[in-house]
Structure 1
Amino acid sequence: MPPANHAVHVARCLKAEFFGQLLPRIGPYTQRGHAERAVDHLDAQPQDTVPEAVAKTVPFDVSDHAAYRDPYATEAVALLAAAVGREGAAGPP
């Protein structure tokens, strides 16, 4: 299996150009396309579910692997909703 090189970082932004408070880190993904699909899925959520959240694909930081959530063991939208304090905004994890 190839090394896991891709991840998704989600941040809460106050301005469009500012990638602010870092929320969940999701990864690793072995394929960039999988990470990009996760970003698309998160970006497609209504703003009342995940307000001011911006997701982007980034290189996986293996030295900080403990800070990442397994993308296959967690539901990204539920994880993000819980991180911003929106209990019940998404389905169960």
Structure 2
Amino acid sequence: MIRRLRRCGHAPGAISPEDQAVVDEFRAMLTALRNPEPWTPGISSARDIAVRVGPFVERAHTRPGDDHGPDLIAVTLVHPDTPHAGAYLHGRQLGYTEHDWLRCPTTSILGYWQPGYTQLTHAANGLHLPDDIGMAPANYALYIEARKRDDTHDGHTLLRLGPYTQTRHAQQDGDRLTAALNGRETTLAPGYRITMRFGPLNVSDHQLFTDPSKTDVVALLNTAITDVRP
């Protein structure tokens, strides 16, 4: 898992700069493993996190607004040297750009990313990311929302449909829902406008979604609308 390090010389005298760099990298790795910086769901931060991918550790961006789930959040893996020059090209060669947003179990998160984790990545070992990294795609969803027609535009989400593994499947159900709403957006629920939007599946709230694969989405829409109150 750890890339092969140069052995420090045993000759008398001061340690060479090259060997000192190896020692410093190894110490940084041990420090990161022994003293992880805890990550807490729901604490918005621009910092990347460190996640386990098999026996390796990888750097990951969290998706804004989808990082509060107690058991799952959405992440995308990035090259450990991001944003330095050459990181994107090297990452592309090793498969880092082939994965979109992923469903990451929070139990796989070590903490906030530290440079000391770099030696434990696929990239540092010259390895391509595997096709199956143990995380399912974050997928897509349809959101049915009710917004008040007054100046406040307050409202809430009536129905969350997902996951959709392909955008075309979401589009098909979206077309059916659009047809069902056509001309009735403001009459189905007095005082509200019913709208639908397409977006990424918010895996932090995955338990709130209804699986659309074996259901009538229009029937689900009609049921959800009956719960709207002026």
**TM-score bracket relative to the smaller structure:** 0.7 to 0.9
Give the 4+ runs in structure 1 shifted more than 3 A.
none
Alignment of 1:68 with 2:217, yes or no, is no
> Secondary structure of the residue that 2:137 maps to in structure 1?
coil
**TM-score by structure 1 length?**
0.73
Deviation at 1:53, TM superposition (A): 2.0
Partner of 2:145: 11
**TM-score by structure 2 length?**
0.32
Distance in 2 separating the partners of 1:13 and 1:57: 16
Q: 1:77 corresponds to which letter in structure 2?
A: V
Shift in alpha-carbon separation, 1:41–1:19, aligned structure 2, 3 A: farther
Distance in 1 separating the partners of 2:155 and 2:148: 7
1:37-82, Cα deviation, whole Å (9 max, x unpaired): 211110101528x823211111011121110000112211111111
Deviation at 1:31, TM superposition (A): 0.7
The question of whether the paired residues in 2 share the 8 Å contact of 1:4 and 1:29 is answered with no
Aligned residues: 82
Query: If you compute each CA radius of gyration, which structure gives the higher value, 1 or 2?
Result: 2
The question of whether the paired residues in 1 share the 8 Å contact of 2:141 and 2:162 is answered with yes
The question of whether the paired residues in 1 share the 8 Å contact of 2:138 and 2:200 is answered with no
Distance in 2 separating the partners of 1:24 and 1:61: 13
Shift in alpha-carbon separation, 1:73–1:55, aligned structure 2, 3 A: same
Q: 1:79 corresponds to which letter in structure 2?
A: L
> Secondary structure of the residue that 2:207 maps to in structure 1?
helix
The question of whether the paired residues in 2 share the 8 Å contact of 1:8 and 1:26 is answered with yes
Deviation at 1:8, TM superposition (A): 0.4
Higher relative contact order (CA 8 A, sep 6+): 1
Gaps of 5+ in 2: 1-135
Partner of 1:55: 196
The question of whether the paired residues in 2 share the 8 Å contact of 1:11 and 1:19 is answered with no
The question of whether the paired residues in 2 share the 8 Å contact of 1:26 and 1:69 is answered with yes
Partner of 2:156: 21
Distance in 2 separating the partners of 1:32 and 1:24: 18
Deviation at 1:13, TM superposition (A): 2.9
Aligned-CA RMSD value: 2.4
Q: 1:60 corresponds to which letter in structure 2?
A: L
